[in-house]
Structure 1
């Protein structure tokens, strides 16, 4: 069972809020985990985008991370932080990607990206346009001398575990 971002926000609002807040705070920077052909993990920086209520893993085509996802669609995406105290929280999501080939969607995305960042991909064909389908997520928050770990699995609701 997998879940779209829009569905995820409904069943795991705390994790979704932390993920979105940390994503925005770092200029959209996250770390993408994929599996190399030899089975070892690969971690790469990337700037996933929210568009039309979905999380998209987009970037420079024909890179190792996208070849990994073409071969094995499983991924993890972790918000970037340099705060060892995690005072603003931290979140990660994981699941699979699906390649969405829809020229109208691609055109709307390119228009939105240009308006938001000035990066002009308008009129280009997207060989891969990867939408995230989530199967799990977690977030941590530190406050009042305790650590709250919020976890979620597809098909369920988020649960908070407090550690003192």
Structure 2
């Protein structure tokens, strides 16, 4: 089973569209990785949704890139924006980041994004996508998608 971004867009196109729009609203987002000692590290990051993949590009030998090389698990939080309104809700993506070494794949990414050279490029394998939002100023709604399962929706007052 493929757990890339295309898997979500195929299984749950409405959720995928909302998540992409939420990430598209701002340039910088928050990436959580694991340090050598296992403690969390959070850093800013730009992300791209291209060709059915969620891509993470990073400066050479950045601490977040070194973290992901050592332990590929990550969590990605969309920029919440100004204030507390969170238009479109709060979205998070968890998974594994796999470094891309193939020159053709990196060149294809570079054509679209034009990153500063050199750079690390990671494609993602998703383990969970979560959207949290307020409905009717009354309910907290949490949508959770995991590969191979439909979206689970939880609602509480």
TM-score by length of 2: 0.89
Query: Aligned partners of 1:142, 1:2: CA distance in 2, in Å?
Result: 31
Offset at residue 2 of structure 1 (A) = 5.9
1:146 aligns with 2:139: yes
Counterpart pick for 1:137 among 124, 129, 136: 129
Offset at residue 120 of structure 1 (A) = 5.5
Could you give the per-residue CA deviations for residues 65-95 of structure 1, whole angstroms, max 9, x where no partner exists? 1111010000001101133233431100101
Query: Aligned partners of 1:31, 1:16: CA distance in 2, in Å?
Result: 19
What's 1:11 paired with?
Answer: 11
What's the Cα RMSD here?
Answer: 1.8
Offset at residue 159 of structure 1 (A) = 1.3
Query: Aligned partners of 1:86, 1:9: CA distance in 2, in Å?
Result: 22
What's 2:148 paired with?
Answer: 155
Give ranges in structure 1 of 5+ residues lacking alignment: none
What's 2:26 paired with?
Answer: 26
Q: How many residue pairs were aligned?
A: 155
CA contact (8 A) 1:30 1:79 kept: yes
CA contact (8 A) 1:152 1:159 kept: yes
Could you give the per-residue CA deviations for residues 142-163 of structure 1, whole angstroms, max 9, x where no partner exists? 1212121101122211111111
Query: Aligned partners of 2:14, 2:29: CA distance in 1, in Å?
Result: 18
What's 1:69 paired with?
Answer: 68
Give ranges in structure 2 of 5+ residues lacking alignment: none
Query: Aligned partners of 2:98, 2:110: CA distance in 1, in Å?
Result: 19
Could you give the per-residue CA deviations for residues 98-152 of structure 1, whole angstroms, max 9, x where no partner exists? 12222112112111113xxxx564xx5x5x3210000111101212121211011
Structure 1 ranges of 4+ moved more than 4 A: none
Query: Aligned partners of 2:88, 2:60: CA distance in 1, in Å?
Result: 32
Query: Aligned partners of 1:40, 1:2: CA distance in 2, in Å?
Result: 29
Offset at residue 17 of structure 1 (A) = 2.2
TM-score by length of 1: 0.85
